[in-house]
Amino acid sequence: MQVDYLIIGQGISGTWLSYYLQKEGKSFLVIDNNSTNSSSKIAAGIINPVTGRRHVEVWMAEEILPYAWHAYHQIGIELNIPAISQKNIIEFFPSPQMRVSFLQRIEEKNQYVHSYPEQNHFNSFFKYDFGCGEIKPVYIAHIETLLPAWRQQLIIKKLLLEEEFEINDLEVFPDNIIYKNISASAIIFCDGNSSTNNPYFNLLPFAPNKGEVLIVEIPDLPQTTIYKKGMMLVPLATPGLWWVGSTYAWKFENAEPTTEFREKTESLLKDWLKIPFSIVAHLSGVRPATLERRPFVGFHPLHTNIGILNGMGTKGCSLAPFFAKQLADHLCYNKILNPEADIKRFQKILSRKVS
Ligand SMILES: Cc1cc2nc3c(=O)[nH]c(=O)nc-3n(C[C@H](O)[C@H](O)[C@H](O)COP(=O)(O)OP(=O)(O)OC[C@H]3O[C@@H](n4cnc5c(N)ncnc54)[C@H](O)[C@@H]3O)c2cc1C
């Protein structure tokens, strides 16, 4: 079998890359092992313009957020699914200091941070003593709907192999790559944390980061916004279901859920909610994060037919469509990649002998 590109992984990165390559009329095959705990299957899908306690604007917010909104909207139309919706964040201040800090951001004219006029509006659902504010616009990418819908398209068109990719079976030649019975001009790894064990890319400064999540049922809470008080409470596509999370652990023994998180989060919900809830599931996953918090996009300096779209960290839902399009344009029209994302910045490290 001969294709232009072999793509490894159908998380949010592989989904968007295959989408844009298809738009360009390129032939490709995706190999994905359908792992149940990949980062994309655990993410809430939040596309948030600010980050951290100080509500600092995220990297490239003004370019990437509107891009993501249009991209998800468009793929949603094509697949006939709701792929994105706007759900602003109502942030309940956990302390008077946090309230002061939030109000300061408003005074500084942070364009995403706003006061909330009806301070008592959420009184029947939540206990909160120090008021609330609003972050907007915030979007939710419905990746729990999008990923299976795109997968289904790939399966129908016979463009997906559901199996484990084995790096030892990859043969790399100057003008093409061969994997089992597949020959392609290039192979592109969109395989999340698996790339940390990939001999071509294991020298990149990955910094995997574990996150845990509870899925809870709160039948009486209106699913019109995201709520935040330390943790985020994010409405899921299924009526009544909410995603609660998450933690950020740089050091961890394994990727399994912990009793500590479950107990702590359950107790936080008991203190915060005035209405009944029940825990439906407890999940955990590892984000393919990077030391300098920028994605890895582009081609290996020595093996120019081996590429990567990875390192999306905590922001895969916003970054993946934008950088998948850049990579597709780079492949099809030789357009340059954003230098902060292009793996050319690691040329020296990657030029060491592949082990
Ligand atoms: C708890 C948690 C909450 C998060 N919340 C958000 C959020 O709200 N917003 C946001 O933007 N981001 C969020 N993220 C981060 C987001 O999930 C990631 O940035 C993103 O999903 C990474 O996508 P990816 O496609 O690059 O990698 P992955 O999602 O890891 O996808 C890789 C794919 O490759 C497949 N694969 C791997 N190895 C192989 C192999 N050898 N053979 C075949 N297939 C293989 C896997 O099965 C998977 O399908 C969260 C992450 C976690 C853990």
Report CA(44)–ligand 1 centroid distance (Å): 11
Do 218 and 261 lie in one domain? The reply is: yes
Do 157 and 279 lie in one domain? The reply is: no
Establish if 28 belongs to a structural domain.
yes
Establish if 77 belongs to a structural domain.
no
Residue 354's pLDDT is 59
Tokens of 210: 């574990």
Position 323 pLDDT exceeds 70: yes
Residue 146's pLDDT is 98
Which domain-ending residue is among 234, 260, 287?
A: 287
Q: State how far the alpha carbon of 236 is from the alpha carbons of 45, 64, 163, 265, in Å.
A: 10, 23, 29, 18
Which domain-ending residue is among 262, 287, 312?
A: 287
For the stretch 105-152, pLDDT in tens is 999 988 999 999 999 999 999 999 999 999 999 999 999 999 999 999
Do 298 and 267 lie in one domain? The reply is: no
Q: Which atom of ligand 1 is nearest to the CA of 12?
A: 25
Query: To test the ligand 1 pocket, which listed residue (58, 154, 191, 297) has its Cβ within 8 A of the most ligand atoms?
Result: 191
Question: Is there an atom of ligand 1 within 6 Å of 288 CB?
Answer: yes
Do 148 and 277 lie in one domain? The reply is: no
Lowest pLDDT segment from 52-56, 222-226, 266-270, 271-275: 52-56
Question: Is there an atom of ligand 1 within 6 Å of 113 CB?
Answer: no
Establish if 177 belongs to a structural domain.
yes
Query: Contact at 8 Å (CB) between 222 and 216?
Result: no
For the stretch 256-296, pLDDT in tens is 999 999 999 999 999 999 999 999 999 999 999 999 999 99
Position 244 pLDDT exceeds 80: yes
Residue 313's pLDDT is 97
For the stretch 62-71, pLDDT in tens is 999 999 999 9
Q: Look up the pTM and report it.
A: 0.97
Position 341 pLDDT exceeds 90: yes
CATH number at residue 13: 3.50.50.60
Which domain-ending residue is among 267, 287, 307?
A: 287
Query: To test the ligand 1 pocket, which listed residue (197, 314, 319, 322) has its Cβ within 8 A of the most ligand atoms?
Result: 314
Report CA(247)–ligand 1 centroid distance (Å): 16
Task: Give the Cβ contact number of residue 156 at 10 Å.
Answer: 9
Do 150 and 283 lie in one domain? The reply is: no
Question: Is there an atom of ligand 1 within 6 Å of 38 CB?
Answer: yes
pLDDT (average), residues 231-239: 95
Residue 307's pLDDT is 98
Establish if 139 belongs to a structural domain.
no
Do 295 and 274 lie in one domain? The reply is: no
Query: To test the ligand 1 pocket, which listed residue (12, 19, 37, 39) has its Cβ within 8 A of the most ligand atoms?
Result: 39
Residue 355's pLDDT is 54
Do 274 and 240 lie in one domain? The reply is: yes
Q: Which atom of ligand 1 is nearest to the CA of 35?
A: 47
For the stretch 68-98, pLDDT in tens is 999 999 999 999 999 999 999 999 999 999 9
Question: Is there an atom of ligand 1 within 6 Å of 31 CB?
Answer: yes
Do 198 and 222 lie in one domain? The reply is: no
Do 152 and 268 lie in one domain? The reply is: no
**Percentage of residues of the chain with pLDDT beyond 90:** 97
Establish if 122 belongs to a structural domain.
no
Establish if 59 belongs to a structural domain.
no
Report CA(143)–ligand 1 centroid distance (Å): 11
Position 312 pLDDT exceeds 80: yes
Do 182 and 281 lie in one domain? The reply is: no
- Between CA 223 and CA 195 the distance in angstroms is 36
Q: Which atom of ligand 1 is nearest to the CA of 164?
A: 42
Residue 352's pLDDT is 82
Report CA(136)–ligand 1 centroid distance (Å): 25
pLDDT (average), residues 195-219: 97
Establish if 90 belongs to a structural domain.
no
User: In which domain, by residue range, is 257 found?
Assistant: 210-287
Do 214 and 283 lie in one domain? The reply is: yes
Q: Which atom of ligand 1 is nearest to the CA of 14?
A: 25
Sign of CA dihedral 167, 159, 80, 326: positive
Do 214 and 149 lie in one domain? The reply is: no
Report CA(279)–ligand 1 centroid distance (Å): 23
Query: Contact at 8 Å (CB) between 176 and 303?
Result: no
| Burial class of residue 209 (count of CB atoms within 10 Å of its CB; 0-12, 13-18, 19+) | buried
Three-state SS for 305? coil
For the chain, how many structural domains are there in total?
Answer: 2
Q: What pairs with residue 90 in β-bridges?
A: 134, 227
Position 2 pLDDT exceeds 70: yes
Residue 58's pLDDT is 96
Residue 54's pLDDT is 87
Residue 343's pLDDT is 98
Establish if 228 belongs to a structural domain.
yes
Q: State how far the alpha carbon of 181 is from the alpha carbons of 22, 216, 299, in Å.
A: 22, 45, 23
